[in-house]
Structure 1
Amino acid sequence: MNQNLFFKLLKNFKIFFVFFLFTLSTLVELKSKNKWEYNMENLKQPVLKWKYSEDNFDKTINKKNLSKKTHKYSVIKGIGQGITVNNYPYPEISNYVPHGFVEDNFKSSTISIRTLNKTRGCHGDLSHCADAILNIDYFPIKKENYSLGFKHTTQSLSSRGIENDKGTKFGEAQSLGFKSAWKLNQNWSFAIGGENVIHFDKKTDLGRNYYLIFSTYRELNDSQTPSILFFNSGFGSDFYGYRGNGFLGRSSCLGSNTLTGNETNKCQWGPISSISLAFNDRISVNSEWFGYGYGIGLGIRPFKDSSVSISIYATDFIPGFPDYNQKSCIDNSCDTRLYSSLSISF
């Protein structure tokens, strides 16, 4: 039985060996008929040599598109009373009326000096009637859609009148305020805040000025630094609700020494608003209503690569308007006054 199995295996092996030899001979024959070889000539390509040429270079560029922004919407942020548009600093869009835009992420502080050529009701020359205050805005919290900051105000920048016990010493009348702003959507922002909320002495007499303000804008072109209309509207207390403008009601101002409280901690509330046309990132025309008065003026950013902003406004130039302010002026008749501001953000 085992012997028969051996002969069968041997027979099968012979058959397999013969098939193997046949296959090998066939492959050798095919190789001899098809002689393939590697030819470097087939791989050689011509070398491309590039040469810079200015011929017709300007014709290949659409120069009109270079000045256009590359995104659909502008990004509006605040820096003090001014704003930034797509990270470009713009001049201020109002002076007394706050705006509701979230503070710029790249700026933490703004220092500004507001000057008056004379206070309302002062009779005398510039040396006796001029006034100024120093504001320092600091924003420790700045998010994409929210910011929180504080405003430190020094009202007395001279020692005028102390010889008659009618003035304040340099550095007196200091106070602290706050501002909290939210971006509601692409077009609208909102802020609540207060100026001169905490008095560090009894010399502050500019009111405890709380406010709620909405801000929006409309772009007028699509350049990198577009022309934009800005609108701020809301209501505020005390200075903002001064006399006849305080018709919205009364509330506690969380402290005495108010403008409209009649020696109480109550104060009046009234509407405030402003409108501004920024032609570009260098100049704006502004108009504002802030209760205590109104103003029309210019905002200018004189240096291209700096956030320095200068503004100048005229107020009380409409005879008899508003009528509730006339009794504060000499002979019940107000004359044109000027106020201005110089600010820098960093």
Structure 2
Amino acid sequence: MRLLKIVWALCPIGHAVTDGQQRLHPHRVSSYEEDAREAYISASGQPVMRREAKQEDEDRQDDQMPIEPHRQQQVVTQLAPKALVATGEPLPVKVDGCQDAATAHVIEGSYMPAGTSGDKPSYKKDGSGTGDDEVWLYHYADLDAGSVGWWIGSNPSGRVHIYAFNPSEADLPPSNGWKAPWWGDVDASLQIETLEQDLVTQLPEVAKEDEPFTATSPPVDEPFAATTTEGPNDSDKGPGNEAPAVSNISKDMEPSEMQHLLKEEGEMITAAVAKLSSGKKLADMVFGTDTAAIPDEPPSDEMLEKLSQDPAMAKKALNRTVAWYRDDPG
């Protein structure tokens, strides 16, 4: 029994003090080691791990579970916002609402999916340049650096320029909780949202439906169709089959010349429509519809006067009237 007590006294335990220094459990780290594990940011804006801490971490990798510092876990818990909902293939996203003018000028816009960083999608800003001018939205997953989260920078490696940061470890970019610039406070106005799926998938279909529109005239009664289809009309024009010009009126004429021609055309119209049996047939041919409200009587002087004052209507009426009278003089 005494021998067991002696052996027990000589064996160091996990919380004993040896040589003036506290011995810790192998799965625990000292405050000095914890400070060494924290990352710092270089002057170029790249998250960098202290070299000596990184080496120590690699030496312990085989026999020690990686422990996330408690203080860093608290920061992630407080700032991690609600992430976008995964819906299969990643969709384009839009960055908007940044309050810092210089940062907003660079990061705001639409981002298209472009590969992955680790197991999370990366996005490249639509319209951004190449090299240093590229703008990417990506997830930084190097646990050694202590800067795990979503970043907006000039390229996924983060070696040139960094503009915004979010400590979220979600599978998709968080919609809010971003620091812009990355070293500043959280910008509550900065939002990242998925572009509407309908807008992305339906635009090509809309383009396919954009075809020339062909207008069709309404159907007409059979008696009127039989009366007008045999003569020339506005749609029966082809090479060598153009209707002869009836009106010689031009806007370049002198007022006296125009008045004289109008009078002559009015007389021609009067002579032509006088051969018709009713004003209804004239109205049918001029207006292209069945005007049952017009009585079966010759056109009135008022109607003829109106036609003589309207060169365009007079030309149309005379064309139809002469064509109809030529083919059906009875």
Which TM-score bucket, shorter chain as reference? under 0.3
- From the two aligned structures, give the one with the greater helix fraction: 2
Normalised by the length of structure 1, the TM-score is 0.19
Q: Which has the larger radius of gyration?
A: 2
Higher strand share: 1
